[in-house]
Structure 1
Amino acid sequence: MKVSIKRKATILTTSELATDHRLHKLSKSLEQAGYQCEFVCRIKSNHLPFKGTNKVHYLNTIWQSSALFYLIYNLRIFFFLLFHKTNLIISIDLDTLVGCGLAKLFKQSKLIFDSHEYFPESPEINKKPWIKAIWKLAEKFFIPLVDIGITVCQPIADIYKNKYNKDFLIIRNAPSAKREIKETSITSKQRLFTILYQGAVNNGRALRELVQAMNFIEEAQLIIVGSGDIFEELKKLSDPLGDKVLMTGKVPFDKVASYTANADLGIALLEDMGLNNYYALPNRLFDSLHAGLPMLGINFPEIEKFINEYKFGTTIDNIEPQNIAKAINKIINNPSQLKEWHENALSARKYVNWEDESHKLISILKTN
């Protein structure tokens, strides 16, 4: 039965809407629960055009990064929400929770905190003690104000429960079961074996080591789909390798699937740079599973558990370039194993989908 839309939900984020698929899936789920959704995001230089139907409010912060950006953006969020009618405030990650939490103090709106990562221990701030201390203070003050907490894996939920006695729903970022997948054979479909990294091109993703590993891998191409803080550095590092490394830059989320479906091996390697990385469950694991793409991951708990549970890849215990190359060469030289992983991934798709994941949130919202 179709639910009449009477209430408004406002999703606040620092992410780029054209490249963050989870935000759009979240908005559709909220609509199923009876909410009319809108986005609030920052004006970002060189952002890709947003093609969705939801209303978007852009907030200008002048600064694109640094502490001043986060200060100004959260102040702008606070004043926007203070004078804006909404029934449900959805804060995406800790970097928007301060503004959303302050508004919650003055409004009757419910507050959802959707924590895609454990922000205080993200690689960008984990080695900056005073900045990390500020975010931990923000977390300590504002998480108790949250009405519904959401996160991506059990270890992060456990951190919030142990520190603040706050229960968080686990909603993994799986693709929709209705998403069309272009079926591809995992063997001999391309002249070169294709290795795919998709996601943010930032510190902590073992991307420097991955590029260097290509020096020891023959008849293969690495495609890096995404952009981020170390994009230009990585481009210079990969230049001597020529066509062995292709960097696409930003790609809209509706276009990324074509890269995933036509690759031979996906990559989910991370550096040990704090609890955020250690307990990470990257989006690309779910996208790869749905595309039938085998994975090479790091043996951190959640990554290893996911790959082993669905038997669609393997993990390594260190990210030295030669060790990465050794693992990939072994995979290239074992096409029967690669085909088995491909088939296992396709078989597992029916057990991992957004509809099942988001049902937990929809049920709570419909009864409140």
Structure 2
Amino acid sequence: MSSKKAIVSAFSSLYTDQRIEKVCHTLFENGYLIDLIGNDWKGAEKMERPYPFSRIHLQSKSLKTAYFEFNWKLFHLLKKKSDQNTILYANDLDALLPNYIIAKKLQIPLIFDSHEIFSEMPDIQGKMSQKIWRYLEKKLVPQLPLMITASNSYARWFHEKYNANPVVVQNAPRKAAYFPQDSHNNPKVILYQGYINRSRGIDKAILAMHHMEDVVLKIAGDGTERKEYEELMIKENLQNKVHFLGKLHPEDLKKITVTADAGISIEENGGASYLYSLPNKVLDYIQARVPVVMANLPEMQNIAQRFHVGEIIEDHHPERIAKTFTRILQNGKEYYSKGLEEAAEVLCWENEEKKLLEVFQRVSQ
């Protein structure tokens, strides 16, 4: 029998989505024929992969119409590419419907990977779009026999809400071999990496810099609120203490991460998706052996209780955030090194990919 074909689709430019890259690479290395589909909305950066990939061209200018256009075009592309030897792999709710329709029509396996609780994202709270995504989630998720999600708290939420039983595959990075033990930064560097939007505590971290000396906050990433936060930085006259690095290639970002004195992941409770998240950046910092300032939310509390990898903020008041920043910088990297080493051995993709492959093996017999 020929190798199984896995068509992996996502509403994504693919360039910076490290979870999708890791999933596809693992499947490719284990003999699956990968066909990765994203889109070119807001750009299509050059990238190289050892397996085929394509980006659906979107003409839409607004995100709302882009979702509809992508799903319509994805449906027709999946219809053309899928056969009885295909496993469909849908990343997040915004790519699920066309995958579901094709899987049902052809009676082929569908695996749904919910990176987050899409219907509970802060950006759509109270909007009509939230009602649409909730309706779609309610209709489709209970009918899915194969589901993956990114945290234990997410899995519990989906089980309680829809009686689903997702397999938890955390978005951990691959093991890294070498890291400098002391970066000797002057000024010290606090790093935020990831998407720049509301409820991530970025604005509070910027304001916390009023209470810091000989420290710079570096913000690596892009997103809907970047311009607003850059304006906040200027308004507060913090240009010497806050640096926006823009969107970086994952490999370039890794080189910056290892040099930081501390990483931050101080998401606010902006709905269930953030409340129950285990942000990628937390695991990235750990793998880079960089101590972490974390929010007082369930998954990050669990990490802090299991491993001595950083500090939990009391709340999101800028002055108290600054006190936590100061504490972690005064302690230094060496103070957290044992806990970071222990966590890095456990929280790595080499452990998580085993669970991913088990799900695929169920439908590849």
Same fold by TM (over 0.5)? yes
Alignment of 1:1-368 (within 5 A): 6-86=3-83, 87-128=86-127, 130-177=128-175, 179-181=176-178, 183-186=179-182, 189-239=184-234, 240-335=237-332, 338-368=333-363
**C-alpha contact 1:120 1:136 (8 A) present in aligned 2:** yes
**C-alpha contact 1:5 1:31 (8 A) present in aligned 2:** no
3-state SS of the aligned residue for 1:83?
A: helix
Deviation at 1:59, TM superposition (A): 1.2
- Tell me the distance in 1 between the aligned counterparts of 2:8 and 2:293: 33
- For residues 5 and 310 of structure 1, do their structure 2 counterparts lie closer, same or farther at Cα, with a shift above 3 Å needed? farther
- Tell me the distance in 2 between the aligned counterparts of 1:310 and 1:261: 19
- Tell me the distance in 2 between the aligned counterparts of 1:126 and 1:81: 31
Deviation at 1:33, TM superposition (A): 4.2
Deviation at 1:243, TM superposition (A): 2.9
3-state SS of the aligned residue for 1:333?
A: helix
- Tell me the distance in 2 between the aligned counterparts of 1:305 and 1:5: 43
- Tell me the distance in 1 between the aligned counterparts of 2:140 and 2:349: 28
- Tell me the distance in 2 between the aligned counterparts of 1:313 and 1:31: 35
Deviation at 1:223, TM superposition (A): 0.7
- Tell me the distance in 1 between the aligned counterparts of 2:342 and 2:351: 16
Q: Deviations over 1:260-285 (max 9, x none)?
A: 10000110101221111111100011
Q: Deviations over 1:114-138 (max 9, x none)?
A: 111011111111231x221111111
The letter of the residue matching 1:88 is I
Sequence identity, in percent? Answer: 28
The letter of the residue matching 2:290 is L
TM-score, normalised on structure 1? 0.92
- Tell me the distance in 2 between the aligned counterparts of 1:46 and 1:140: 32
**C-alpha contact 1:291 1:346 (8 A) present in aligned 2:** no
Q: Deviations over 1:158-196 (max 9, x none)?
A: 22222322210000111113x444x1224x611111000
- Tell me the distance in 1 between the aligned counterparts of 2:215 and 2:267: 21
| Structure 1 segments unaligned to the other structure (5+ residues) | none
- Tell me the distance in 1 between the aligned counterparts of 2:231 and 2:192: 17
TM-score, normalised on structure 2? 0.93
Q: Deviations over 1:190-219 (max 9, x none)?
A: 111100001001111111111111111000
- Tell me the distance in 1 between the aligned counterparts of 2:249 and 2:23: 17
- Tell me the distance in 2 between the aligned counterparts of 1:243 and 1:229: 23
The letter of the residue matching 2:341 is L
The letter of the residue matching 1:287 is D
Deviation at 1:72, TM superposition (A): 1.6
3-state SS of the aligned residue for 1:243?
A: coil
CA-atom RMSD, angstroms?
1.8
Using the TM superposition, name which of 158-167 and 197-206 deviates more: 158-167
Using the TM superposition, name which of 168-177 and 99-108 deviates more: 99-108
Using the TM superposition, name which of 67-76 and 195-204 deviates more: 67-76
Deviation at 1:67, TM superposition (A): 2.2
Deviation at 1:32, TM superposition (A): 4.1
- Tell me the distance in 2 between the aligned counterparts of 1:163 and 1:344: 35
Q: Deviations over 1:243-299 (max 9, x none)?
A: 311111111112211111000011010122111111110001111111110011111
